[in-house]
A and B are shown apart, each in its own frame.
Chain A
Amino acid sequence: MSNGASTLYDVVIVGAGVSGNLIAKQLGLAGKKVLILEAGLPVPDSREEYMNNFYLALAKTPESPYPALAGRTGSQQNPVGVLPDPSKLPTPRATVLSIGKAPDVSYLVQAQPWIETHDPKLPPQNPPPDANGNIRGLQFSSTFERNGGGTSWHWLGTSLRELENDIQLQTKYGHGVDWPITYPELQQLWALAEKEIGVAASTAEQEPLEVVGLVYPTGYQYPMQSIPMSTVDDAVSKGIAGLQVPGTLPDTPGGSDPTMYNVFVTPTPQGRNSEPYDDRRVCAGNTNCIPICPIQAKWDPTVTLGKALDTGNVTVSYQSVAYNVAVDGTNATRIDYYVWSRDANGNLTKVSKSVTGKIYVLAAHAIENAKLLLMSNNWNGIANSSDQVGRNLMDHPLYLSWALAPEPLFGYRGPLATSGIESLRDGEFRKYRSSFRMEIGNEGWNFSKGDPYTTALDYIQGTNNTGTNDGGPNGAPQRLAGVQLAEKLNNILTRQFRIGCMFDQSPMAENRVTLDVTNGKPNNVDGLGLPRPKVEYGLDPYTMEGFRMAAYVCSQVYQKMGAKEFTTTGMGSAGDFTYRGVNYHYYGAGHVVGTHRMGNESGSSVVDASQRSHDVPNLWIVGSGSFPTVCTANPTLTLMALAFKSADSIIAALGS
């Protein structure tokens, strides 16, 4: 069915991820004929192969289970093994292992090269602020997948709703832009998404968050009971009882918010089963939601894809990379795509095909959607009269801090995160600095330090890479053996925990995705000869002031608990920056948004509230790329909610 020339589909969707699969399912249920073009490999019959990839991966990064694999055998010179060359791959993607690297291993072409020293003893090489206080030339650090099921194979499962003030930031606080959709409508759409995912939560447990404006329609109940809080959550929750912090720190640019805000822990609504749901098992606490749930207790887009296929109206064409959306006059008329395969010798071959439909939906990921729009019409772009395609690229830049609790709190158990501090997500301070949520990790110092590996080797070898091994004479590191080694590691590992803070980063027109093309010629291509996305990224003072506040709040949390903080910054690697003389480090959250922003005005936005192109009326451009701002909740629930709205609008546009 991949040769669509003879079949007229009602709708052709690019991308078998969260949005594409959900829209396909809704259309299939309505009796519409749908073709999904998925760039990557099919969803495997069993996830055993992906699990084995994960077990054998030297670096257990989010991408580690998924093709194309990085080499597994390392060396001193090349500790993560050989990374694949994106110019040889049909569907290269951004990976953690290639962040900050040159285009020979990094699919994303970063506008500014990064000087990696990996040596905290050297002075930071961080770029200086410009005249407006913005720091430009940073590396975009979020990654994504290009295989059947998409990036949400490795979503965390966090299913928080946005706050009412998240979507009216401009009206309420004079910053950023508003969303073109009302909160009551979003509440209805979230309920649909929560049912599709199977979100485990209790509205009663969320009630304390009324202080930040989180309210549910009367009588609303989540599909299943909440996930129990972990022993880590419990220790933090009890340890910070009574903690308050001000809205802003002294000398915050622009103004101050001296209000004292309560800091408290609430359980997180999660897309993992607390009871059997949709023929899937309950969570067994594998502590591996990222990169892969071994038992699919966590919802992922392949669940919804299965339901879409069950309608009998949906077909998927795998290994099909869309490269042109043809527009004749105003309407889209066809999608051109390459079907790729590898011969017996592993050589890549491609065949060009075209497919027509009445309506086209781009659901390929925020960066890939922008790339496809810009590639179309002979790389002159479509649906871009606003000049906003690719702009306002945002992430939830993530500030990570970590500490040792005074007593064991037993991390490395349960889902990766089961609770957070959501009580600081809204307040008058949003006039002056970015807001953030705080995610409490259940995985010790795995994210922070690559533990338990780093701590174990510290005490086996007598090094101090973690900062904890200073118990020898004059603070020298210890080398331990046998039961003493085992008990020491037990003492350290059971007291480790971390907090990740994710910021409502400002939209900035100059943070953008473009094609890596000069004078009509690509500088770097993929294995199909298509140009690669080039990314320009930076942070503004509003966002960075949030980092300053987050570092303060985390330290207050640790102090109140009697925990000892070990956070380090300035690692000589991509993600370092200096703000007001202090070094920070941001990680990518994988929450890539903003590249085809939605709005009511066609002059300043790419799509409307139903994610329909302002310029091309039979084209929908869907996913987190439509978010006008990144807000304070993890984006998957909301991007799925928006997909429900899009599906309804597509069905209406098709007529009966």
Chain B
Amino acid sequence: MSTNPSTPSEATLQAFADMSAALTGFQSSFIRPFLDPVNLSGTFYSFAVSQVGQPRMDALLAAFNNLNNQTPKPTPQQIADTLLETSLDAPSLQAQLCQSIVAMWYLGSWYTPGVLGGNGFAPPALQVITSQAYTKSLVWNLAQAHPMGFSPFVFGYWSQQPASLQTFGVDTGNGGGQ
């Protein structure tokens, strides 16, 4: 693992992207496309490191690589459940970091690990990471829609049924949901 947050190695970035795909349930091509001028995964990796420090990120990626290299290879759903500790009553600090990473991909914003919402609304975000983090945030794909204020669709689309959830990038039927 790289120890310099400004220049993570390719292996580190790919591990972060693979882990992000498993945690979010999205296809890798939506997380780190082959042609990736926006490089959200790089932006998100660096932002998370700036918030929680390199050692916590290194430890998380080590845990992911350890899982991912097991034989037989666990499914993405099993990796996600393990890292997010969905079967435990309370998530560990590491699982809370995973929650923040999922929130970053879904919502484009940084939610400090472990800070819960209350009284009917979401917990406060620290910041919207970048404009593109918002316009490419993935929760809107889960609504089979688009970020509010950033529609790639054309007049009248709203009167028709949307494309499938898989078309919107969710890894349905591909090792998930098992």
Contact = CB atoms under 8 A, between A and B. Distances in A.
A348 interface: no
A482 B117 contact: no
B145 A287 contact: yes
A286 interface: yes
Contacts of A482: 22-25, 76-77, 79-81, 84, 176
Interface in A440-486: 442-444, 446, 449-450, 452-454, 456-458, 460-463, 465-466, 478-486
Interface in A76-100: 76, 78-80
A653 B116 CA distance: 63
Contact of A55 (B23, B91, B135): B135
Main secondary structure of the interface of A (DSSP, over half): loop
- Which interface residue of A55, A118, A446, A481 has the most chain B CB atoms within 10 A? A481
Interface string B61-95: 00000000000000011011101111000010000
A65 B165 CA distance: 31
Interface in B27-46: none
Identify the interface centre among A294, A446, A453, A571: most chain B CB within 10 Å of its CB.
Answer: A453
Contacts of B170: 483, 486-487, 490
A230 B160 CA distance: 8
Contacts of B23: 481-482
Given A294-B149, A411-B143, A489-B142, A55 B131 contact: yes
Most buried by B among A75, A414, A466: A414
B77 A54 contact: no
A235 to B, nearest CB: 11
A458 B103 CA distance: 11
Given A72-B128, A230-B158, A482-B25, A465 B77 contact: no
B24 A294 contact: no
Interface string B145-178: 1101111011111111110010000111000110
Contacts of B171: 483, 486
A286 B149 contact: yes
Contact of B148 (A234, A282, A287, A487): A287
A555 interface: no
Interface stretch (B5-13, B50-58, B105-113): B105-113
Contact of A284 (B118, B155, B165): B155
B122 A457 contact: yes
Q: Tell which of B120, B144, B154, B157 has the most Cβ of chain A within 10 Å.
A: B120
B142 A231 contact: no
A144 interface: no
Contacts of A78: 124
A119 interface: yes
A593 to B, nearest CB: 28
B26 interface: yes
Contacts of A639: none
Nearest to B99: A460
Contacts of A443: 148
A410 interface: yes
A454 B117 contact: yes
B81 A481 contact: yes
A479 B149 contact: no
A407 B128 CA distance: 32
Nearest to B21: A482
Nearest to B172: A483
A30 to B, nearest CB: 36
A57 interface: yes
B91 to A, nearest CB: 7
Nearest to B176: A483
A329 B123 CA distance: 59
A120 interface: yes
A55, A58, A449: most-surrounded residue (chain B CB, <10 A): A55
A458 B120 CA distance: 10
Contact of B86 (A60, A466, A480, A494): A480
A452 B84 contact: no
Contacts of B103: 456-457, 460
Interface string A486-501: 1101100110000000
A463 B116 CA distance: 8
A571 B60 CA distance: 38
A74 interface: yes
B121 A454 contact: yes
A51 interface: yes
Given A231-B159, A482-B22, A412 B148 contact: yes
Given A286-B149, A465-B121, A484-B25, A413 B157 contact: yes
A285 interface: yes
Contacts of A72: 127-128
Contact of B153 (A54, A58, A284): A284
The 5 closest A-B pairs by CB, nearest first: A483-B176, A414-B158, A79-B124, A482-B80, A486-B25
Given A58-B128, A294-B150, A465-B121, 18 more contacts: A55-B135, A58-B125, A76-B115, A78-B124, A230-B158, A410-B145, A418-B158, A450-B122, A453-B109, A456-B122, A457-B107, A463-B117, A482-B22, A482-B79, A483-B25, A484-B81, A487-B165, A494-B144
19 contacts: A230-B158, A412-B146, A449-B121, A456-B107, A463-B117, A465-B119, A465-B121, A479-B84, A479-B91, A481-B86, A482-B84, A483-B25, A484-B177, A485-B102, A486-B25, A487-B165, A487-B170, A494-B144, A568-B120
